[in-house]
Structure 1
Amino acid sequence: MSDSTDLRPLFADYSLGRISADQLQALEAALRQDSDLRRDFIEYMNVDSALGNMAALSDVELAELETTMLDDESATTAAAPPETFTKSKTNDKLAPTFRVAIVLGTLAATLLLAASLWLASLGKNKLTPVATLLTEIDAVLLCNGQSCKTTELAAGKYRLEQGLVLLQFGGGVMVYVEAPAHFDAISNKCVELHSGRLSANVPPEGVGFTVETPEAEVIDFGTEFSVDVESGASEVHVFDGLVRVQPRSEGNLEKSGAIDLRASQAVKIDDVVKKPVSIALATDRFIRTFDESRRKFSRTIKQLSPVAFYPMAIRDQGLACVPPEYSGIVLTGDGNRPPHARGVFAGGSLRVLADSSGRGGIVKSAPPLQSGEFTLAAYVFLENRAHSAVVVTNIQRDTGSFSLELNERGFLQATVRDSAGELRSTSADALLPLRTWCHIVMTVDGEQLRLYGDGRLAASTMSAPLSSNVSTSLWFGTDSDAVRLWDGRIDEVALFDKALDDAQISELYQAALEQMGKTE
């Protein structure tokens, strides 16, 4: 159990009879479930019992003990060389009681030394690292209530107040944790998750890695899985391989109720039913890697030569760009979860609102758009219905030339400022689906403003070439006044100083579909 390292100080209170009822109940419960704690408790009580037995010896027993030890000493002396036979007259005259006290003191000191070494070994074991902090993204990590200032994590209680962390446990097990989360590092093979989300990638060397929750124990057999603990329920989602889920009943593991989950399966166990119930696999909820891996979609975009590409890689400052001179920063505020979330394929996306601290992003040195033609491509994920919410824009009052947003009715809308300074807009005639990734493209070719959804033309209108009156800033998920906030995620944003044609847009979408099929 997670409290085992904290309950060892109660051993002394137990042996002295001054342990409280609540402490006794907690200690007994932990001893029933933790074999390591039971072993340490037995060792402590053996030492305590030996000391107690010595203190209770009668005078006769003490005299017998003295005789035994003196006989042992005589036998040792007889075997020694003659020159070592030196005995003080003063020692000959020592009272028997004093000699017994010396013997008793020697034994007590020996046992006390053993107890001290045992306790010291416990302290040493507590400090032995069980995990390594490999990566942290804007993280505030507390250990036993104090700020964690080391990358070598010992067994203990941890709270991730904000951000993301990547931990490596024994056997190369990689564990991604998203704030807010409360977990105990038990050993290099076990984590207890009290609340929050984590994802584990377990290689063959790490088979047997275990995640304990208040409702279940999850044992891995070489796989990739995620766990979500919230509001008296635990969810387990398996993306690859096999895990075993053992439900708990009143704090104990219900062995007979164990089930095996394979790839694409998920279950939920609450503290009322206490039985696993099948649920849909949450492919978009969990961050399972911080890396933006090379893939066909990225290659296809780069082959089309964008002026700026924002893959929304998970970084401290976010908004990393290719080329880097157009990178930006993530704007944060109040909220529970970090502004980074799982992307459309893997890696990350920019999360705005949706119970997160994300308030959008800004690029203060936007890429130039000078040809009069333009394309903006992006993936969007709408969490909740919103109105007048920005996806990407560079319009700030009388400056700027384009905006992709939800209009006042909640429909997706593309807006440009043309070469005559007029604002032109076209809107889709259907609402975006909720909690689904959609590929959106807007283009201007000097004659038409077009809006595409998932590779298909959704709306169009007449438009002159794009205005060269370009704002120096670019906003993601918000406007310049920080009021028209998106509610969901934005990913894979590409800007082109040209108009992509229908075939290129279709090719881009097909590359995305192929990549989705490989990463679900």
Structure 2
Amino acid sequence: MNLKQTESSPQDLDDMIFELLDGAITPDRHQKLQGILKHNPAARQRYRDLTRLEDLLEDQMHSAAHPQMSTPQNLIPFDRLARRQRKRIAMWSAATAAAVLLICGVILTVINVSFEPSVATMRYAEHSDYRVTYPDDVDYEAGELVSGAIVELKQGSVELNINSGVVAVVEAPALFKMVDEFTLELKNGNSWFSVSPQGHGFTVKTPQMEVVDLGTEFGVVVDPTTADEQVHVLRGRVQVSSLLKMKDVQTLTAGQACKVSMDGGLETIPVAQDSFLKGLPDGLTYLEWSLDEPTNQAFAATGNMAGLEDVVSSVVRGKIDVVPGRKDRARRFHQNSGFIQTTWPGVDADRPRTISAWVKYPKKPDATPTGAIIEWGNPDLNAAKWRVTINAGGDAGKVGALRTEFSRGYVIGTTDLRDGEWHHVVSVYDGSGRGDASTIKLYVDGKQEEISAHKVNRVGTIVGRPGADPCLIGRNFRGIIDDVRVYQGAYPEEYIPHLMGE
């Protein structure tokens, strides 16, 4: 059935329903109506409302004519519907409000489509990018997950309320399948589970292990890029079984964690209490360095990203100056002097990301920009470094413009920032795995930049491994930086002006 056969205006939909109730619908119109009802939840609800109302009105009319008879209000046979005569629109309008109150809760199933009951409901954080694939190519109400539903989460996070009494929060990138209300298959992602007594025995299956709840709160990590799979018990107990050759089985209690080792066994690791989202955030997860501290001894990282409490940020290799900022304080950096080194590794692989900051470059139109506003990753491997800076013009593009580098690739804007004024700069990468002028967008003061030059390269940022720098702010930069933020996801263009915080 093509798309046109599953589309209709509200008036045409009502006309087809009335034709069906009159027994006057043609075969083609009947086929079109069936297609609409199969693929459009709102149309199914409209069909139910009108047919229920038709039944109620006819029963009331029949009761008035034959008060000695009682008509049960059960399911309405299809052939009976086909024999009914169409009521005038005025009668429908006058009776609708009272009738709807009487028919709430009555279930009518008259179309030949089978719908599985939902096993979970799903909410998502603002700006999340996800796709749900249902079994048998049947559409369900938004937010409903049925047995066999597969969820792919490219950015953001989702919260699951599972019928068995389990609450889960899954953070992108993620791929999981709702097997049933007691089983979830996790192929990728960081997930947190809180299991009520009702959900005792809830099971999370990964490619290499099986985690069975014994009354607990726990987190599961599956990273297919490194084949790393972990379970962290935050409260209660779980039973963990390796699905690989060794078939190792362990019971873990609160404060314990393990991962699947190279030989297929279960290896003890430190528990990461704060590495999982335990509630649905308002939007994309992020870290922010306001740089408002009065001294340079340490800088606080704020935001809503899991594990931010463990992020330490401090000045290394010299000093930086405390200066007036965009709103409070900021930091002036100098070439070959101090910069801020954090313990946060950065956004890895080809995950989408948004970097936002305020910068003020000295009014020196002839000065050659140096250093980076923010950077992380491995500079010695192709595609493994991520860097946002001001273009020095050594290879291409407008000198003094905003520039995003990904090792041997780059995208450069057009606005010269060397004017001694504050500018809000944003770099957004969409997570496609390829860096070019279509996948990386640059913004200055809330407006998208024209691209003066770019060089295509893949994106595969390496973090947390030997040779990779953690997130660094202002290394060798010449100028003032304030309010740096990194979001784990690509913000849409219409939201960019909000990042300015005006």
TM-score range, shorter-chain basis?
0.3 to 0.5
Query: TM (normalized to structure 1)?
Result: 0.39
- Structure with greater proportional helix content: 1
Tell me which structure has the larger Cα radius of gyration.
1
